[in-house]
Amino acid sequence: MRRLMSCGGSSYQDVEAATLPEVRRLMAEKYLETMKEHLPKKKIPGFDWERFVLDVERVFEEEDVLEGMNFGIDC
């Protein structure tokens, strides 16, 4: 499958033209991107945001949402 977007936003047209699995990947990408952007700013004591993001990514991978996509912390 093709990757619809790089790190960044997606347009309505991207979502409209996508298949259901592609929409799921777009949504997963946005969730992870948003967490990576905002969680470090929260400075929650004792909260390992990088591990949390990796755990969420792992769940998406187990559900085959992220097949063929790279969502490392350094997106």
Structure confidence at residue 20 (pLDDT): 86
Structure confidence at residue 64 (pLDDT): 78
Residues in the chain predicted with pLDDT less than 50, given as ranges, are: 1-8, 70-75
Q: Is the whole model's pTM more than 0.85, yes or no?
A: no
Structure confidence at residue 68 (pLDDT): 53
Structure confidence at residue 7 (pLDDT): 44
Structure confidence at residue 6 (pLDDT): 44
Best CA proximity match to 63, nearest among 16, 37, 27? 27
Residue-range domain boundaries for the chain: 26-75
